[in-house]
Amino acid sequence: MTFKDEKGIHTDFKERMTYGDYLDLDKILNAQNRLSGHHDEMLFIVIHQVSELWLKLTLHEIHAATEAIQSENYDGAFKMLARVSKIQSQIIQAWDVLATMTPAEYLEFREHLGQASGFQSYQYRLVEFALGYKTPHVLKIYEKDPELDARLKEAYESPGLYDVAIQALAKAGFEIDSEVLERDLTKTYEANESVEQAWIEVYRHVDQYWDLYELAEKLVDIEDWMQQWRFRHMKTVERIIGHKVGTGGSSGVGYLKKVLDHYFFPELWNVRTKL
C-alpha cells in the first residue's frame, strides 16, 4: 500500500491547523542560532535545548505529583513520578550524544559562549528547589529578569516533593519532629532521626503502609537517576574540557564532583543500612 492508496489522509490545510502549527515548529526549529561557523555548535545547542524541554516536563510532573501527594492521590502521584524517572533516563542519554564532540571541536566555538553556561539553567535550579536542595547564592544570577527572579524566589520558599512526603508520614500517624514539619523551607533539607525511624517502619511493614512504601521507592528512583545524570554530566565535561574553569566561572569538573556527594532524600538511603 502506498500513500496514494490512503484515501482518508488529509492534504488540504489552507484553513486548517497542521502538525507544525500545533507544535509551533517554526519557532522551535529556528531557535538554533549558531554564533560561530563551526559544524558542532549545532550539536551543542540542540542537546541543551532538548534537555531544557525535558526539564520543563520534569517540573510539570513534579509539581503535579507534589499536589497529588498533598491531597493523598497516591496513584496519580506514582504515575507522574514514574514518568519523571523515564524523562531522566532520556536526559542522561543526551550526554552520550554530546560526548561525540571532541575537545578540539569544542574549542572552535567555546569563546563565543562568553559567560553563558549550563550552570545558569533556571529550570535545573527549579528542579533542585523542588527536590529540597535550596542554594541561595544562585538566585543572584536571575536578578536581571524580575519575572524569572520572582518565580525562582517563590519556588525557593515553597515546600518541595520531600517535604510533602514527610507530611504524608505525619498524616499516617508517625511522630515527626516539629522542627522538621515547621522547618525553614529556604534551607536545604538535612537528615532527621524521626523521619528515618518512620521510613524504617514503613519498610518493615510494607503491607500496612503500601502507599508510603511505594512513594519512598519512587523518590529513590528519582534520586538514583539524578545522581546518574550528575555523574554523566561531570564525566562529559571532563572528557571535553578536562579541568578547565567553566564558562560560567565555576570550577567545572571540581564543582560537579562536589555535588555528587549531596543526597536529596538522605533517610531513604540510610534505611538500606539500618534495616
C-beta separation of 183 from 230 below 8 A: no
On whether residue 30 sits in a domain, the answer given is: no
pLDDT (0 to 100) of residue 4: 65
Q: 230 among the known binding-site residues?
A: no
Q: 44 among the known binding-site residues?
A: yes
Q: 247 among the known binding-site residues?
A: yes
Q: 69 among the known binding-site residues?
A: no
pLDDT (0 to 100) of residue 137: 86
On whether residue 120 sits in a domain, the answer given is: yes
pLDDT (0 to 100) of residue 1: 56
Count: domains in the chain? 1
pTM: 0.92
Q: Which residue numbers in the chain have pLDDT < 70?
A: 1-5, 246
On whether residue 250 sits in a domain, the answer given is: yes
- Alpha helices, DSSP H only, in the chain? 19-23, 25-29, 41-70, 74-98, 103-107, 122-130, 146-156, 161-171, 178-181, 193-204, 210-241, 253-259, 266-274
**Cell 578547565 sits on residue:** 244
On whether residue 264 sits in a domain, the answer given is: yes
On whether residue 212 sits in a domain, the answer given is: yes
Q: 166 among the known binding-site residues?
A: no
Q: 16 among the known binding-site residues?
A: no
User: Cell for 71?
Assistant: 491531597
pLDDT (0 to 100) of residue 67: 98
On whether residue 21 sits in a domain, the answer given is: no
Domain that includes residue 76, residue range: 37-273
On whether residue 219 sits in a domain, the answer given is: yes
Q: 133 among the known binding-site residues?
A: no
Q: 203 among the known binding-site residues?
A: no
Burial class from Cβ neighbours inside 10 Å (0-12, 13-18, 19+) for residue 55 reads buried
CATH number at residue 50: 1.20.58.480
pLDDT (0 to 100) of residue 258: 87
Cα–Cα distance measured from residue 40 to residue 29, given in angstroms and rounded to the nearest whole number: 17
pLDDT (0 to 100) of residue 250: 73
User: Cell for 112?
Assistant: 563565543
Q: 222 among the known binding-site residues?
A: no
In this structure, which amino acid lies at residue 252?
Answer: G
On whether residue 105 sits in a domain, the answer given is: yes
